[in-house]
A = this chain, B = another copy of it.
Amino acid sequence: MSWSLNEISKHNNPRSCWVIINKKVYDVTDFLQARRDATSAYEPIHPSDALEKNLAPSQHLGPVNDDAASAIEKDVAARKQTKDELRVVNALKQRPPLNRIISLADMEASSHKTLSYKAWAYYCSAADDEITLQENARAFNRFFFRARVMRPVFRCDPSTKILGFETSLPIFVSGAALAKLGHPLGEVNITRGCAPSKIIQMVSSNASLSYSEIAAAAAPSQTLFFQLYKHKDDDVALQRIQEVEHLGYKAIFLTVDAIVPSNRERDVRSPWVLDDQENGHKFFIDGEGAADADPGLGIAGALIANDDRDMTWEKTIPWLRKVTKLPIVIKGIQCVEDALLAAEAGVDGILISNHGGRQLEYALPPLEVLYRLRKRHPEVFNKLEVYIDGGARRGTDIVKAACLGATAVGLGRPFLYAQGAYGEAGVRKIISILEREIITAMQLMGVSRIAELTPDLVERVDWLPVERTARL
């Protein structure tokens, strides 16, 4: 059976909401959006198998009919580009050649210009006033080096292992969702860009490509980890775990710091900014009743609406151990006390993280938590591997974290920015920049292997250093 636009358009309300995606009709009444053709909004943020996985067969209503299909095609053809789309087209023409990108800050600046506003707002947004976002990065600024001299460093090897898997640098791609927002090829840009240097990619549950598409893009021996947002229904969660285990993913990073939506204002405001830009400001008060309408939670809110908000150490970890043989890492540890509980629970690793400042505003910076943990409970580092993510942008940042006990440092936004602006080549570029910066820092500190990076080489200073951007 196929559907006419006329028929479809009747189902345009909360009680019965049908949408068209790629000329097929779906009943999404359980979700919240009601549009005629949802393709352009749907595509960049959903993997190809999302409809299969999330809609019951009865909700797949079948294709549109021929008239509808040609009407849609005409619509698409007739659509005028928005101002933001035109801006992006122009920016892509003027972006600097990749060999002029010599730092991750350069990459971010280039990406800022070439990403759609929506993508930029989603990628860079963070909770509330974005204090935590900034503090994550500023924390690195407080640690200075006690560099050693007169040590042989001609040969310097920055490679190490994460959960037993090789990596050429003590970094990994931290789970970062919705790469397709920034580039049509999405997450596989990262997969392919990481392959030559054996950098491990952690794939988000909310990736905009399916887990199998990403796995298929990986090189034969390439390592992928999986960032699990646990569904509140254990069976649904189990299905997801079994899928990725089957696809060859090598570890489960259980996300525990993003179980409820947070307040990312830049993301929430994004459609208003675009509307205003397109149409000019046309504010009005449309009756005080409407004024209380919920502004929504941005992209981020929708992604985790069904996640498990009642996980516990006692219940969740044993369940996870039972259903999978993969190493388990807790992603989102935010204080020393929970690091101890994680060690007690017998997990394989913890990722100290506040979700890149996107969840709880005023969570302590991961580097500060790492510093406290290393100082007060050095024994923990023998029981599990410790990683951090959030704010690292320079080789020296990575090296500082390694000195304080981190096995590796995750980076999220930098990879999204890099693939957004230059695709796979952008990913390769930032890895090569970090490699150069890490090796240089190690050599200038008198260090030639990762294992030699020890706490005595760094000092937390008691003054307020100048901000990194102060001279840029």
Residues of A within 8 A of B (CB): 94-100, 102-103, 105, 128-131, 134-135, 138, 141-154, 256-257, 259-263, 265, 268-269, 272, 281, 283-286, 288, 290-295, 309-313, 316, 330, 332-338, 341, 354, 359-364, 368, 394, 396, 400, 422-425, 428-429, 432, 436-437, 440-441, 443-445, 459, 461-466, 468-472
| Bound complex: CA A423 to CA B262 (Å) | 28
**Residues of chain B with a CB closer than 8 A to A130's CB:** 471
Interchain CB contact under 8 A, A313 and B150: yes
How many angstroms from the CA of A361 to the CA of B98 in the assembled complex?
24
Q: Is the CB of B134 within 8 A of A292?
A: no
Does A309 contact B444, Cβ atoms closer than 8 Å? no
Select one of B268, B459, B463 contacting A464, CB under 8 A: B463
Q: Which of A100, A335, A471, A472 has the most CB of B within 10 A?
A: A335
Q: Are B360 and A292 in contact (CB under 8 A)?
A: no
A281 to chain B, nearest CB (A): 8
A290 / chain B contacts, CB cutoff of 8 Å: 97-99
> Is there contact, CB below 8 Å, between B360 and A470?
no
| A73 to B: closest C-beta gap in Å | 31
Chain B residues with CB under 8 Å of A469's CB are: 129
Residues of B contacting A98 in the complex (Cβ-Cβ under 8 angstroms): 285, 288, 290-292
Residues of B within 8 A of A338 (CB): 148-150
Contact A147/B334 with A286-B97, A312-B152 known, Cβ cut-off 8 Å: yes
**Are A149 and B257 neighbours in the complex by a CB distance under 8 Å?**
yes
Among B138, B368, B440, contact of A262 (Cβ-Cβ < 8 Å): B440
Most central of A130, A291, A368, A445 by chain B CB within 10 Å: A291
Partner of A443, one of B142, B309, B312, B330: B309
From B332, B361, B424, contact of A149 by CB (8 A): B332
Would you list the 3 A-B pairs with minimal beta carbon distance, nearest first? A98-B291, A146-B335, A360-B444
Contact residues in B for A336 (Cβ distance below 8 Å): 146
Interface pair B471/A360, CB less than 8 Å apart: no
What are 21 residue pairs bridging A and B, where the CB atoms are less than 8 Å apart in the complex?
A95-B285, A97-B284, A97-B291, A98-B285, A98-B291, A99-B294, A102-B263, A102-B268, A129-B471, A130-B471, A147-B335, A148-B337, A149-B330, A149-B338, A150-B256, A150-B313, A150-B341, A152-B312, A260-B443, A362-B396, A362-B400
Q: Could you tell me the distance between the alpha carbons of A461 and B316 in the complex, rounded to whole angstroms?
A: 32
Residues of B within 8 A of A283 (CB): 94-97, 100
- Extra A-B contacts (17), CB below 8 Å, given A146-B337, A150-B338, A361-B441: A95-B283, A98-B288, A103-B128, A105-B129, A134-B471, A138-B463, A145-B360, A147-B257, A147-B363, A152-B310, A257-B444, A259-B443, A288-B422, A288-B423, A288-B425, A359-B444, A361-B396
